[in-house]
A and B are shown apart, each in its own frame.
Chain A
C-alpha cells in the first residue's frame, strides 16, 4: 500500500474512473461522515468569526472582557470559556483553526507541486538521472523530518516571526519526499503504456507527454496522498508549537497552552478540550476522507 502501483483497468476505462470512484465513495459511510464533518469545521472556522463579528478577538484582548472575565468556564456568554486574558476561547479556537487549516493546505500544496514535478521527471526519464534524483530523496529520508523542520524554522526566524511563510516552507520541504516517490513509481510504469507511446509517435514533446498524458493518470494517487498529508502537516505544526516554534495562533499552540493549565490543583479543562476536539475532529475527518478516496480511486485495495 505504501507504493501503490497503477491499475491498467482504471486507465482503460478513461474518464469513467472518476464517476466510478464517486459512486464507490458515496457508498463509504465513514468517508461521507468525515467529509461532512470536515466541511462543517472548515465553514465554521472560515466564516464563524465573521458572522459572530469577532474578527481578531482571538488575538487581541478585548478591554471590556478583561479582567473581569478571565479564565471563565464555558457558559452561555462564552461558549468555550475564556483564557487568562479574558479572550473568548471560541474566537481563539476558530481563528487558530483558520491558521492550522491554511498551514495544512499550503504546505501540502507546496509539497505536492515539488513532489509531482520531481517525481515525474525522475520517473519519466529513468536511468541514471532517476537514480541520482532518488538518491537525493533517500538522503533526505535519512534525516529525521522534525530535525529539518526545526533547523529551517530557526534559519528563517530572524525574519518577521508573525509571518507563517517559514513554516509553510519548512513543512512543505519535508513532506514532498513521499509524494515524489509515489509519483515516480506511477510514472515509471505509465511511460511504457501504449497511449504514451502513441503520443510520442505523434510527435509530442517530453513536457507535453508528462503534463498532458502521464500526470493526469497519477492524479488519483496524488489526491489520496495529499488528503493524508494535510492531517500530517497539521499534526507536525502542533509538535512545533509544543516545542515553542509554532506559527502563531494555531490549534497546536492552543493545545500546548492548554496543557500548561492541566494539573492537580486547578485545571482550566476547556482550554485543552476544545482545541483538542477541533484538532482531532479535523484530522479524524481528513483521515477518513483520505481512506475513502483511496478505496474509491484504487479498487485493487478493495475487495
Chain B
C-alpha cells in the first residue's frame, strides 16, 4: 500500500504543479480541495455520511426548487425532503448524492477554467467597439475577468437565485429559459430514435442470429456495420438525397411538424440500431443453441412460437443492459444530427455556446448533460437490481 501512496502521491503532485503553472495557483488549489472533499467522503462513517448526504441534497433541491416554488417554499420543501432523506434513505444513496452534488460543482469549475483558457470573449465583434461598451456589457451580463471570479458569480447565482445566468448571444432570456424549450425537442427526438434503434436492431439481429452464416446473417450484419462505420452525418446526407431531394417526401431541415422528426430520428438511431443488432444476434445464437430450444423444436412447436418464446428472450437480455448507455448517448450525442437538420435542441446550444464563448450557456448545457447521464446511470443500476436480485445486494 505504501508503494501506491508514493506512486499516486507523486503523480498527483506533478499534476498539481502542472495545473498550477498552466491555469494558476488558486485555481489548482480550489480543484485540489474539491477532489479532496469528494474523496474524503469514502472514509466517512455511515452516520456522518447520512448527514453530509442529506445536507448536499438539501442544497441541490433548494437550487432547483426555488425557481419553481419560490425562495421560502423552496427552502422549506428542500429541508423537509432532506430530513426525510436523512431519516429513511439507505446510506448507499447518501454516498451517491455525496458524489453527485460536489461532482457537479467540480464540473462547473473545470468547465469554467477550460473556457477561460480558450482565447476569445463572448463580446468579440468583427467591428471593434469601445472599451467602455465592452466593460458595460460585461458588467450587465456578469462576465467576470477571471475564471475564479466567474465561478464565484455563477455559483452564487445558481444557489442564491436559482438561475443559470444570462446568455450573451441570445439576450433577454436566462439560460434555463433558453434550454427548457430545447430539452423536450432533444428528448422527443432521442426517444423516437431509441424506439427506431431497438426495433430495427432487434429485427436485424434476430434475423441474423436465427441462421448464422447465412445470407440473412451477412446482409443484416453488413447493414449494421454500415451504421457503425459511417459518420451519421453522411448517413443523414444519403437519407436527404433519397427522401428530400429526389422524392421530396420529407422536409430538409427545421422543426414543427411530424415530418421534421423522421429523418433526424432515423439518422440518430442507425448507429445504435447497429450495436443493438450485433448484441441481439449474439444473444439469439446463444439461446438457440440451448438444449431447451432444441427440445422445443423437437416437440414440434412451430418456428414462430420458438422465435417469439425463446429467440426474442435471448435477443432482448443483452439489449436491455445496453439501453442505459444508449439512451444517455442518444440524448447527449445528438448535436451533429441537430446541426445537420437544424433541429432546435440542446446539442445546438452546446455547439454554438462553445464556439461563441457564451460561458453561461456552455455551463448550462454541461449541468443538464451531466444530470441526464448520471441519472441514467442511476436508473440503469436500479433497473439491474430490479431484474437481477443478485445485484440488489451489491448496490
Contact = CB atoms under 8 A, between A and B. Distances in A.
The answer to whether A and B touch directly, with their CB atoms under 8 angstroms apart, is: yes
Interface of A: 1-2, 121, 124-125, 127-129, 131-133, 135-136, 138-139, 141-144, 146-147, 150-152, 154-155, 157-158, 205-207, 231, 235, 238-239, 242-244, 252, 255-256, 259, 262-264, 272, 276, 279-281, 283-284, 287-288, 301, 303
Interface string B150-185: 000000000000000000000000000000000000
B114 interface: yes
Interface string B358-395: 00001001100110011001000000000000000000
A287 B225 CA distance: 8
B39 interface: yes
B103 interface: yes
A292 to B, nearest CB: 13
A238 B231 CA distance: 7
Question: Which of A131, A135, A144, A264 counts the most chain B CB atoms within 10 A?
Answer: A144
Contact of A151 (B99, B111, B332): B111
A252 B234 CA distance: 10
Contacts of B339: 242-243
Given A144-B333, A242-B233, A276-B234, A157 B43 contact: no
23 contacts: A1-B279, A1-B318, A121-B8, A125-B4, A132-B42, A135-B42, A136-B35, A139-B106, A142-B374, A144-B333, A147-B365, A150-B351, A151-B118, A152-B114, A155-B114, A235-B231, A242-B340, A243-B351, A244-B355, A262-B240, A279-B230, A279-B231, A303-B285
A288 B35 CA distance: 40
A259 B233 contact: yes
Contact of B231 (A133, A138, A151, A242): A242
Nearest to A130: B4
B230 A276 contact: yes
Contacts of A281: 229
B21 interface: no
Contacts of B111: 151
B107 interface: yes
A252 B373 CA distance: 27
A1 B230 CA distance: 23
A207 B318 contact: no
Nearest to A241: B231
Contact of B8 (A129, A151, A152, A244): A129
A1 B283 CA distance: 11
Contacts, number: 140
B130 interface: no
A9 B92 CA distance: 36
A127 B39 CA distance: 13
Contacts of A207: 3
A132 B369 CA distance: 23
B18 interface: no
Contacts of A231: 228-229
A288 B231 CA distance: 17
Contacts of B43: 128
Nearest to A288: B225
B373 A264 contact: no
Given A131-B42, A146-B333, A243-B351, A158 B241 contact: no
Contacts of A157: 118-119
Interface size on B, as a range, is 35 or more
B369 A144 contact: yes
Nearest to B4: A125
A124 to B, nearest CB: 8
A259 B350 contact: no
A263 B117 CA distance: 39
Contacts of A152: 114
Contact of B107 (A2, A142, A276): A142
Given A142-B103, A142-B370, A244-B355, 10 more contacts: A125-B3, A139-B103, A139-B107, A143-B366, A154-B354, A155-B114, A263-B245, A272-B234, A287-B225, A303-B289
Contacts of B35: 136
A216 B163 CA distance: 52
B52 interface: no
B13 interface: no
B25 interface: no
B231 A262 contact: no
A121 B285 CA distance: 37
B308 to A, nearest CB: 23
A132 B103 contact: no
A152 B106 CA distance: 16
A213 B234 CA distance: 45
Nearest to B111: A151
A262 B241 contact: yes
B38 interface: yes
B373 A141 contact: yes
Nearest to A263: B245
A152 B286 CA distance: 43
A281 B370 CA distance: 34
B336 A239 contact: yes
A1 B118 CA distance: 39
